[in-house]
Structure 1
Amino acid sequence: MRAHHVRITTFIQATEDEDKVLDAIATFIPDEIDEDDIYLDVNETKGYFGNPIKVVNAEIKRSRAVRVFLENLKELLSDEDRNYILEHLDEKVDEEGTLYLRFNKQKAYLSEVKLDEGADVVQIRIKVKAFPMKKEAVVEDVREWLEE
């Protein structure tokens, strides 16, 4: 599977340690990716009840870094998580060709990778390169990538 870019997003609640949340994100980024290839953005905002929240976005755009990221991500996935993605693939890919994966943020901080559909997650969005750029083609590319 090839991709244009990868975006990793999560939230830092006022009760959370920012460094620990950044460590959770780092769980998904292999050491082989140069720091210069990762664009990190942290924005401060307010939650529904006025509580301070930080939104963290890490983006990887360079082709080589994206390839390394995808290889690493595939290795991190358990067989159970791969099967879950395959079973729900149609729901995980949108019409623009983006694959959406959500991982448990607390486990990621402990260097464990586990899919999670809850609220406290690290979201990974992968903009897949497919030809033709249709949802069906992207779903097939992701399926092949996970099954190889």
Structure 2
Amino acid sequence: MAKLGAHYVRLTTFIQATEDEDKVLEAIATFIPEEIDDEDTIFNIDETRGFFGNPIKVVNVEIKRSKAVRQFINYFKELLSEEDRNYLLKHLDEKVDEEGTFYVRFNKQKAHLGDVEIDEGPDVIQVRIKVKAFPMRKEAVVKAVKEWLEE
């Protein structure tokens, strides 16, 4: 059984002034398994301004504890449809950076409804998984993620 080791997981999204903050927070919660305790997550909302001065909130959730990261990784894989797994496998080289981070973006509106779907549009929840691999090179991370997705 191929397991994907990770140092940490980060989820990020934006709350526009026209959006309901509670609904956006529900959308991001779709990606966090219930068995992860609140004390295992670092959650913050930063307020900033957009290009035209409009207020924007940046939501960041970080999971660092080993057990919680493993729980997230297992849950995350279950959330992916066969179609999304195939999409990730096809585009895996663009989804992993040189530092070994695996990036996946999901439709925020659908996530609010409990439906998880990969999306490359602007209104997304970004999931970043800092993968453990040896040696820590992009090729090793791509291989590890590929084996994990194909299982």
TM-score of the superposed pair, with normalisation by structure 2: 0.97
Question: Are residues 1:28 and 2:8 paired?
Answer: no
Q: How does 1:47-58 map to 2 (within 5 A)?
A: 47-58=50-61
Match of 1:126 in 2: 129
TM-score of the superposed pair, with normalisation by structure 1: 0.99
Question: Are residues 1:89 and 2:101 paired?
Answer: no
| Secondary structure at 1:39 match in 2 | strand
RMSD, matched Cα: 0.4
In 1, Cα distance between equivalents of 2:16 and 2:95: 26
Identity %: 73
In 2, Cα distance between equivalents of 1:89 and 1:22: 28
| Secondary structure at 1:54 match in 2 | strand
In 2, Cα distance between equivalents of 1:44 and 1:68: 30
Moved beyond 4 Å, runs of 4+: none
Which residue type is aligned with residue 31 of structure 2? F
Aligned residues: 148
Question: Are residues 1:10 and 2:20 paired?
Answer: no
State the 1:103 CA deviation.
Answer: 0.0
Question: Are residues 1:74 and 2:80 paired?
Answer: no
